[in-house]
Amino acid sequence: MPEKVVINVKNLKKYFPVRMGLMSSLAKGEKKFVHAVDNVSFDIKQGEVYSLVGESGCGKTTTGRLLTRLEDPTSGHIYFHKKDIANLKGKELKAFRRNVQMIFQDPYESLNPRLTVFATVAEPLIVHHVGDTIDEREDLAAKALEAAELKPASEYLHRYPHELSGGQRQRVAIARALVLRPEFIVADEPVSMLDVSIRSGILNLLLELREKYGIPYLFITHDLSVARYMSDRIGVMYLGTLVETGDTEKIINNPHHPYTRALLSSVPVPDPYYKRQRKKIKGDLPSPIDVPKGCRFHPRCIFAKKGICDAKDPPIIEVESGHIVKCHFAKDIPAMDETAEETLEENMELGDELLREVMRSSPSDEESMEKIEQYEHETSF
């Protein structure tokens, strides 16, 4: 029996208009837009965790805000249980928001410092007219807090945010999202503002709640190690568009897009003797206002070919079942990358040998020789 699709996103776009200066307005020049999300499509199944990863400014958070309708899409479709909610307004939009909640990145900013924990968690109940009495709402709020592992709830209900730690604040934010028993949750980097020592507790809590209630998540993060721990599938975003998506282990173990490979190579390995060749990319992230023609990654890609990558929008290629890549050379990149690595390694070895020869031929002092010996020792592993 096929898994039930809860969220289905098709060709979603969000452009933010750029404010023009006085002279530009008078000249009536062409209006410019920030292409925050541009033609994004994916789906999320019941009980699934789908992670969006990518560097800052790639459009991950905007995508999450669009799915919760905190932002209105420029165009495209968002199907929630097969109903398009992209253009909902009024009572229909309010009813939809009861079923979809968001956990924000910063627990220090997302909680009102003037409200108690009870008032914060009960606010969605009041907005959606759930519970007839204060006692009933307090009972629902207490159950949500205990589900978020703030036990006993009676010790937290009447505290203010400044009386809580960062981890406790984020658990309150999770309880606020849970209190309405939503059918879908967007978690926008929920652990990035927390100490490393308490991150695993929050991540495990989210996974336990997924198992208990069957809630699907859109999990937004820039940390691929966290995405691997949390998610069933991963989507890699670059400059407002999805460049690769697939099952988590397929993306981690067999990435095909050059950008995905570069992201993975930047993940630190907890082994001081392990040497891994970094995947090279050129330059800086282009402006989302003046988006490059053709493939958006081509100005930074070491495999880009003139007349192809800079001229044509890359096709969507399924390299294996469920593993989709947006690249002209998606099936060839692993082999091309291996050849490039071998050439780069040969050049590095040649450069190291030349450096040693120069230093040995003119040793100016004992410090130079010590540096050479240290360099040889570090590169011998």
Neighbouring residues of 379: CB distance < 8 A, sequence distance ≥ 6: 352
Strands (E), the chain: 5-17, 33-45, 49-53, 75-80, 83-84, 100-103, 184-188, 217-220, 233-238, 241-247, 316-320, 323-326
The predicted model gives 97-116 an average pLDDT of 93
Q: What is the dotted CATH code of the domain comprising 5-17+31-241?
A: 3.40.50.300
Q: Is residue 136's pLDDT more than 80?
A: yes
| Weakest mean pLDDT among 95-109, 119-133, 330-344, 348-362 | 348-362
Report how far apart, in Å, the C-alpha atoms of 366 and of each of 353, 359, 360, 369 are. 20, 11, 11, 5
How much is the average pLDDT of 310-322? 92
Residue 162 has pLDDT above 80, yes or no: yes
Q: Which residues of 3-24 are buried (b: 16+ CB within 10 A; e: fewer)?
A: eebbbbbeebbbbbeeeeeeee
Closest CA to 66 of 55, 78, 50: 78
Asked if 289 and 18 touch (Cβ cutoff 8 Å), the reply is yes
**Band of residue 50 on the pLDDT scale cut at 50, 70, 90:** very high
* Residue 268 token pair: 């630190």
Confidence grade of residue 29 (pLDDT, cut at 50, 70, 90): low
pLDDT value of residue 193:
84
242 versus 282: the higher-pLDDT residue is 242
Q: How much of the chain, in percent, has pLDDT values that exceed 70?
A: 82
Q: Kindly report, residue by residue over 331-363, the tens digit of the pLDDT.
A: 887 666 654 444 444 444 544 554 455 445 544
pLDDT surpasses 50 at 1: no
State yes or no: pLDDT of 68 exceeds 70.
yes
The domain limits of the chain are 5-17+31-241, 268-361+370-381
Q: Say if residue 249's pLDDT is above 80.
A: yes
> What is the average pLDDT across 245-273?
87
- Assess contact for 53 and 234: CB atoms under 8 A: yes
Q: What is the pLDDT of residues 201-217, one digit of tens each?
A: 999 999 999 999 999 99
**Spatial separation of the C-alpha atoms in residues 260 and 262, rounded to whole Å:** 5
Give the C-alpha distances (Å, rounded to integers) separating 358 from 145, 362, 364. 67, 7, 11
